[in-house]
């Protein structure tokens, strides 16, 4: 079976997922990753083929033409799209065109709706998801939401695999802390990782750090691209004010692929104080490195957080205080929580996930 996995971006969460799935699926199918020209050349020696087509969003109307021509020329059995490319309504027309030429299409739904939906998002995304022959989701919640959108196609529910592709060198905690700097050997480190956005509870995380200033050897680490300016000056000012906290390190920059392991190896807990969202790739990074999590009951986090691997809290006005309480709870019985995460990691194996995807798609081969 020939499968082409499509990711419009060459870096970030969708690309990470596409790369991990392509690597695993290549063991049972002829697999090609169709993605952006920005994808690192480090993946050219992988077990799957790589096709670089897409550039920046403004080039999409031009780049979609060689994408369609390439797919029709290669005639894969399945095109498996990760999320959506740029404009769901337009992407839906592309998918429907490919189907007219006999190319079956499936989609992996990472977010049922965009993080900042518009009035027409429900209708637009419903039209997009209904354009595919089959749909893959990561949670029962997502499946139920798609049914509400009128999606009647077959839906496969599979876990989101762990991002062990980032564990490049198996770096120790002590060496990782030296690389990051500003962390002592006996510090207990709580990590907030990923794009810095208000919806992820960043402001609540900063408020928690301020409240915990007097707790000895409890340190907070923020790492990720700074996207706050687009959300308003007030958020930018809060981050700037927080830089002076003695127990807080802020690395607001794009974390290169090779450096991700340093942050997860250096920390003790990963914080996911989300205010909104469907799922989180950061949770899968925490799993990959065996780090317990403290997470809000948002999206599929309650469903995807391993039992015993973290503490789930309500998303409410007392969130900063609740975060501190949850962190201290994990800290007091850390080995148990860490062991649960390590054991859960084995259940989110990409090999098992790829086999389920292969079987799901194979049912559509005649």
Task: Give the pLDDT score at 365.
Answer: 55
Question: How many CA atoms does the CB half-sphere of 326 hold within 13 Å?
Answer: 27
Q: Which of 126, 139, 88, 85 lies closest to 278 in space, CA to CA? A: 139
Task: Give the pLDDT score at 13.
Answer: 85
User: 190 and 106 in one domain?
Assistant: no
User: 307 and 174 in one domain?
Assistant: yes
Provide the number of structural domains found in the chain.
2
Phi, psi of 212 (to 5 degrees): -95, 15
User: 324 and 197 in one domain?
Assistant: yes
Instruction: Render pLDDT for 212-253 as a digit per residue (tens, 0 to 9).
Output: 998 889 999 999 999 899 999 999 999 999 999 999 999 999
Task: Give the pLDDT score at 364.
Answer: 56
Do residues 106 and 130 lie in contact, with contact meaning Cβ atoms separated by under 8 Å?
Answer: no
Radius of gyration of the chain (CA): 21
d(CA 246, CA 354): 45
Do residues 228 and 237 lie in contact, with contact meaning Cβ atoms separated by under 8 Å?
Answer: no
User: 77 and 176 in one domain?
Assistant: no
Q: What angle do CA 132, 280, 238 make, to 5 degrees?
A: 130
Q: What is the mean pLDDT of the chain?
A: 94
User: 297 and 214 in one domain?
Assistant: yes
Has residue 20 got a pLDDT over 80? yes
User: 287 and 203 in one domain?
Assistant: yes
User: 228 and 213 in one domain?
Assistant: yes
Task: Give the pLDDT score at 12.
Answer: 84
Task: Give the pLDDT score at 304.
Answer: 87
Do residues 210 and 286 lie in contact, with contact meaning Cβ atoms separated by under 8 Å?
Answer: no
Of 57-66, 67-76, 84-93, 276-285, which range is least confident? 276-285
Task: Give the pLDDT score at 366.
Answer: 46
Range of the domain at 68: 2-161+349-362
Q: Which of 181, 179, 127, 120 lies closest to 151 in space, CA to CA? A: 127
d(CA 171, CA 261): 7
User: 170 and 144 in one domain?
Assistant: no
d(CA 2, CA 6): 13
SS (H, E, C) the chain: CEEEEECCCCCCHHHHHHHHHHHHHCCCCEEEEEEECCCCHHHHHCCCEEEEEECCHHHHHHHHHHHHHHHHHHCCCEEEEECCCCCHHHHHHHHHHHHHCCCEEEEECCCCCCCCCCCCHHHHHHHHHCCCCEEEECCHHHHHHHHHCCCCCEEEECCCCCCHHHCCCCCCHHHHHHHHCCCCCCCEEEEEECCECHHHCHHHHHHHHHHCCCCCCEEEEEECCECHHHHCHHHHHHHHHHCCCCCEEEECCCCCHHHHHHHHHHCCEEEECCCCCCCCHHHHHHHHCCCCEEEECCCCHHHHCCCCCEEEECCCCCHHHHHHHHHHHHHHCHHHHHHHHHHHHHHCCHHHHHHHHHHHHHCCCC
- C-alpha distances (whole Å) from 69 to each of 60, 101, 104 are 14, 11, 15
Instruction: Render pLDDT for 333-361 as a digit per residue (tens, 0 to 9).
Output: 999 999 999 998 877 789 999 999 999 99
| Residues of the chain above pLDDT 90, percent | 84
Instruction: Render pLDDT for 166-202 as a digit per residue (tens, 0 to 9).
Output: 999 999 999 999 999 999 999 999 999 999 999 999 9
Task: Give the pLDDT score at 227.
Answer: 87
User: 181 and 140 in one domain?
Assistant: no
Report the CATH number at residue 32: 3.40.50.2000
User: 263 and 193 in one domain?
Assistant: yes
Task: Give the pLDDT score at 64.
Answer: 96
Q: What is the mean pLDDT of residues 57-75?
A: 96
User: 176 and 137 in one domain?
Assistant: no
User: 173 and 152 in one domain?
Assistant: no
Token readout for 123 is 């209708």
Residue the block writes with tokens 């992820």? 200
């Amino acid at each position: 079976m020939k499968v082409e996995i499509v990711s419009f971006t060459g870096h970030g969460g969708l690309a990470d997922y596409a790369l991990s799935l392509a690597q695993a699926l290549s063991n049972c199918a002829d697999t090609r990753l169709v993605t952006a020209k920005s994808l690192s050349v480090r993946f050219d020696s992988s077990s799957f083929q790589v096709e670089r087509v897409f550039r920046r969003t403004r080039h999409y109307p031009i780049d979609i033409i060689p994408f369609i021509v390439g797919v029709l020329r290669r005639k894969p059995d399945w095109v498996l799209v990760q999320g959506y490319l740029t404009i769901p309504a337009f992407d839906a027309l592309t998918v429907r065109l490919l189907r007219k030429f006999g190319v079956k299409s499936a989609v992996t739904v990472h977010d049922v709706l965009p993080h900042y939906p518009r009035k027409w998002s429900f209708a637009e995304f419903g039209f997009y998801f209904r354009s595919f022959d089959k749909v893959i989701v990561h949670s029962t919640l997502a499946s139920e939401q798609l049914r509400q959108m009128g999606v009647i196609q077959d839906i496969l529910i599979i876990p989101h695999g762990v991002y062990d592709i980032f564990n490049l060198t198996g770096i120790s905690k002590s060496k990782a802390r030296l690389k990051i700097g500003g962390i002592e050997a006996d510090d207990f480190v709580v990590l907030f990782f990923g794009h810095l956005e208000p919806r992820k509870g960043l402001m609540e995380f900063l408020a928690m750090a301020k409240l915990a200033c007097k707790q000895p050897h409890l340190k907070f680490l923020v790492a990720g691209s700074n996207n706050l300016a687009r959300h308003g000056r007030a958020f930018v000012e809060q981050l700037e004010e927080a830089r002076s906290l003695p127990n807080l390190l802020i690395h607001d920059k794009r974390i290169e692929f090779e450096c991700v392991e340093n942050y997860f190896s250096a920390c003790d807990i990963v914080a996911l104080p989300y205010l909104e969202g469907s799922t989180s790739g950061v949770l899968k990074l925490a799993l990959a490195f065996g780090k317990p999590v403290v997470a809000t009951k948002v999206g599929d986090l309650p469903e995807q957080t391993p039992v015993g691997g973290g503490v789930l809290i309500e998303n409410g006005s007392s969130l900063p205080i609740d975060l501190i309480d949850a962190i201290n709870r994990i800290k007091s019985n850390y080995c148990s929580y860490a062991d649960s995460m390590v054991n859960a990691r084995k259940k989110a194996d990409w090999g098992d996930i790829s086999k389920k995807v292969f079987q799901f798609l194979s049912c559509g081969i005649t």
